[in-house]
Chains A and B, each alone.
Chain A
């Protein structure tokens, strides 16, 4: 075996190792970009606060089932505006809420995929989202306050129409904790 043979052998080996490392590095990048099939839990809400009990229940479920949580802000667009128009004022309310929920989810190791959905009413927005996305479960906080969030009729409609398991959380008299734009917050 001559020196030339050894050099050729070393060059071939270096080429193979280099090629393997490049391929592995590219495969790693592509793999990181590739989304995976997921189970989803929908957490629809409106306004600037959501029951912390509902958020925590949705997160517990998502963690137990290795599912993605989809917090979705429902925005009602007035009839004087086109349904698909930009809604910066509503978006400004939704953004910090979605951030706060995402922060809690990340702390618990739950994947999040947020949405803002428009409709002529909260129910209409929810119907549009249910049409577009598939969910395994829907977690909804019921509210005792008139005019805030989804009404009793909306919840009945959701139970009848949603192609997923629906979990409605009744607010207890002691349940005064909310997730707001400022994070978790207790109210008197």
Chain B
């Protein structure tokens, strides 16, 4: 039995209509004869949503007692025993109380998928682990329930449920999101136009990245380099930068340059040190590695260490794995002796990486000053 198909409905905030859309698509699936159940749905006291759930079979919730409180949770064993073709499961980031099969609902969903059952699920963008800090910075609100980004990456389909901030606030004022007594508090805290604009941008970017990642499927290289470059061009809808660093103070300038380029392109930045396997990380090297890790954290970049005897091979591996489109390297020291006969690093990188990857050299400061 193969794994089920996972479709995730993602939105910028509560109330954009994720559950509603999931139920609508559920009805459409049922109308064409598919066997489906609602594994778990959270109506949030929204009459329109509850009404739409009518006519769809629901697996009864189970009651779990936690700290003298009785909670209603998804009944995973009952859902697996029912074995429908498709299950609708709301709130992917939900944390289960102790005593059930898994700590998190996305882990329940993995079991359901593994049983060959298709799943429709919902999640808000601020629940993604990697975006959690960014969302806090933008909105000042931290959510405690998060899911690993891989859950979204593994999904077969990701559908963005989009709404303008103004339309969402109108829905909130009309009582379609929260009950009357909570509306004012929500409007004064989280549901401001500024917050929602920022979250909408994050959600749009996230889904664009997911789409891009699925488009950039590694294919067998065919034809000449020029033909392959031409074939890759339409796929280059987004950029990702990689700066090749060494544990040396001079790398800081390279990182600054790379970060500014990444900012201009509105894209992510990876810092990579290709470490010779026998080189210990201690003493001054350790100090510089810590400094680079620290700088990456300040800038929101990712610091990677790849062990390899060959700089170019190690870098090319990371370039392929992370879908890098742009590599920045520091200017090499003048080569001496037989090293002069060897091809330069940028040329070797160009040859080893997929077509369409650009390489840029950042000049050494001392050399610039000499000119």
Chain A residues engaging chain B, CB cutoff 8 angstroms: 18, 21-22, 24-25, 28-29, 32-33, 35-38, 68, 75, 80-82, 84-88, 90-92, 95, 98-99, 102-103, 106-107, 111-116, 118, 132-133
Contacts and interface: CB of A to CB of B under 8 A. Distances in A.
Given A91-B259, A113-B249, A115-B291, A102 B365 contact: yes
B222 interface: no
A33 B299 contact: no
B365 A103 contact: yes
Contacts of B290: 132
10 smallest beta-carbon distances between A and B, as pairs = A86-B300, A113-B249, A35-B284, A25-B337, A25-B339, A85-B133, A106-B365, A21-B337, A116-B298, A21-B338
18 contacts: A22-B337, A25-B337, A25-B339, A28-B336, A37-B284, A81-B133, A81-B136, A85-B136, A86-B299, A90-B298, A99-B253, A103-B369, A106-B365, A111-B249, A113-B249, A116-B298, A118-B298, A133-B287
B81 interface: no
Contacts of A22: 337-338
A29 B298 contact: no
Contact of A95 (B259, B284, B300): B259
Nearest to B299: A91
B252 A114 contact: yes
A112 B333 contact: no
A87 B300 CA distance: 7
Interface of B: 133-134, 136-137, 140, 246-249, 252-253, 256, 259-260, 263, 284-285, 287-288, 290-291, 294-295, 297-300, 333, 335-339, 365-366, 369
A88 B299 contact: yes
Given A85-B136, A86-B297, A33 B248 contact: yes
A132 B252 CA distance: 17
A133 B291 CA distance: 10
Contacts of A68: 249
Contact of B253 (A33, A35, A82, A102): A102
A32 B259 contact: no
Nearest to A112: B249
A114 B294 CA distance: 12
Nearest to A37: B284
Given A86-B134, A86-B299, 9 more contacts: A21-B337, A33-B246, A36-B284, A82-B136, A85-B137, A86-B298, A95-B260, A112-B249, A114-B249
